[in-house]
Amino acid sequence: MARGKEGKGVSLSTVLLILVLLIGAGIYLGIIKIPALPGQIASTTTAPSELVAVQRKIQFSLVDPLAGSAIPSATVKVYKGTTLIETLTTDSSGVATSSQLYSTGDQLYVYVEKAGYVKRYIPVQVPAMNALDAQAGNMFSIPLQTYTAPTVTLKITDQFGNTYASGGKLNFTALGQTTVSITVTIYNTQDNSGFIGSRDILNNVDWRLVHYISTTGTLSTIQGFERSAQRGTTMYYFNSVPDDALTRQKVGQTYVKTGVYSLTFTVGKGGLAAGQSETYNFYLMMYADVNNFISQGIFSYDAVQLASFSLVLAA
């Protein structure tokens, strides 16, 4: 029987060539990493768009977005927790540059204050930086915002359209009613102003807008408030006002936000007899914390009364 040709084996040189090609492709594609030799510095390349952790000074830029302008000569305080790190002042461009270095990931509170503006504690986390900016030695750039403080008036009307002046009298008998619905309308009259709430980290209180009524009367009734409390012989009734409620923004000749907010509640004649009366005092407070008032008797050390009004309830 004739013998067929024997199959030829793959030569060693061919195997080695295939291995060299595979290893080369792996290195080219980054699948295989070649460690640095002793004394060699491994080469690293950072993509320009990559974010990297760095330690730098911070350039704070404080602006009033409603007015569309920078805020010069403002105080800027930088805190880590409740520890004051440094105090800065903004320049004519609203910029304040730190003297201290801060690292990516640092948790800061930045306090901003200037007369006529809303003071705030602003939480800031120091960001990572674009690789190209880091290579260029750039500083962190962190924007800060606050508003011109509002100028407020109060208007009191009843369900029948009657308007009351401060110190005026609502007479249940004259109205022929035992209960009357009252609306308090709050007007911010200052263009491009408003309020931004924050938390006072040093005293652990919220800085918010609060409308409240106080009275020493015990005969008439009142309903429609979120909370109430008694301190001594005085009763207090509280309603919160949203931060954005008082934002009054004018763009050209158009009001984007009007800065007008209304609250409605009900008062009752209760046990008032003919000829008797009780006085209700209305207030709008800024930098106010209702919880702190109920527990400590003050809204905060920084609370500011924006407006007040009084109304006499009579039978």
Q: What are phi and psi of 95, to 5 degrees?
A: -105, 135
* Adjacent-strand bridge partners of 75: 89, 113
Q: Are residues 303 and 156 in the same domain?
A: yes
Which one of 126, 145, 164 terminates a domain? 145
Short-list 196, 197, 176, 194, CA closest to 186: 194
Tell whether the model's pLDDT for residue 4 goes beyond 50: no
Write out pLDDT tens, residues 251-301: 999 999 999 999 999 999 999 999 999 999 999 999 999 999 999 999 999
Residues 99 and 198 in one domain: no
Looking at the structure, tell me whether residues 172 and 138 fall in a common domain: no
C-alpha 37/C-alpha 225 separation (Å) is 75
**Residue 195 and residue 160 in one domain:** yes
Backbone phi, then psi, for 239, in 5-degree steps? Answer: -135, 135
Residue-level pLDDT at 1: 43
CATH code at position 139: 2.60.40.10
Asked if residues 288 and 209 have their Cβ atoms less than 8 Å apart, the reply is: yes
DSSP type of residue 258 = E
DSSP the chain: -PPPPPPPPPPHHHHHHHHHHHHHHHHHHTSSPPPPPTTPPPP----TT-EE--EE-EEEEEEETTTTEE--S-EEEEEETTEEEEEEE--TTSEEE-SS-EETT-EEEEEEE-TTB--EEEEEEPPPEEHHHHHTTPPEEEEEE--BPP-EEEEEEETTS-EE-TTEEEEHHHHT-SEEEEEEEEEE-STTB----EEETTTTEEEEEEEEEEE--SSSEEE--SEEEEETTEEEEEEEE-GGGG-EEEETTEEEEE-EEEEEEEEE-TTPPTT-EEEEEEEEEEEE-HHHHHHHSSS-TT-EEEEEEEEEEE-
Kindly tell me if the per-residue pLDDT of 9 is higher than 60. Answer: no
Residues 138 and 162 placed together within one structural domain of the fold? no
Select from 145, 167, 196 the last residue of a domain. Answer: 145
Per DSSP (E only), the strands in 269-303 are 277-288
Parent domain of 128: 51-145
Residue that terminates a domain, selected from 114, 145, 176? 145
Q: Give the pLDDT mean for 109-125.
A: 98
Q: Are residues 192 and 284 in the same domain?
A: yes
φ/ψ (deg, to 5) at 174: -65, -35
Residues 157 and 120 in one domain: no
Whether residue 23 lies inside any domain: the answer is no
Residue 1 lies in a domain: no
The answer to whether position 17 is within a domain reads: no
pTM of the model as a whole? 0.81
Same domain, yes or no: 245 and 284: yes
Name residues whose C-beta falls within 8 Å of residue 272's C-beta, 6 or more positions apart in sequence.
Answer: 172, 219, 220, 278, 313, 314, 315
Q: Count structural domains, the chain.
A: 2
Residue 39 covered by a domain: no
Question: Could you give the percent of the chain with pLDDT greater than 90?
Answer: 84
The reply to whether 121 and 266 lie within a common domain is: no
Q: Which two tokens stand for residue 35?
A: 């460690």
In this predicted model, which residue has the larger pLDDT, 177 or 20? 177
The answer to whether position 34 is within a domain reads: no
6 pLDDT tier (thresholds 50, 70, 90): very low
Tokens of 275: 């000829």
Tell me if 29 is assigned to some domain. Answer: no
Q: What is the pLDDT of residue 35?
A: 52
- For residues 62 and 91, is the Cβ–Cβ distance under 8 A? no
Here the tokens at position 56 are 């730098």
Residue 28, token pair as written in the block: 């080219």
Asked if residue 310 and residue 247 are part of one domain, the reply reads: yes
Residue 128 lies in a domain: yes
The verdict on 93 and 181 lying in the same domain is no
What is the predicted pLDDT for the residue at 198? Answer: 98
Is residue 308 a part of any domain in this protein? yes
Give yes or no: residues 67 and 183 share one domain. Answer: no
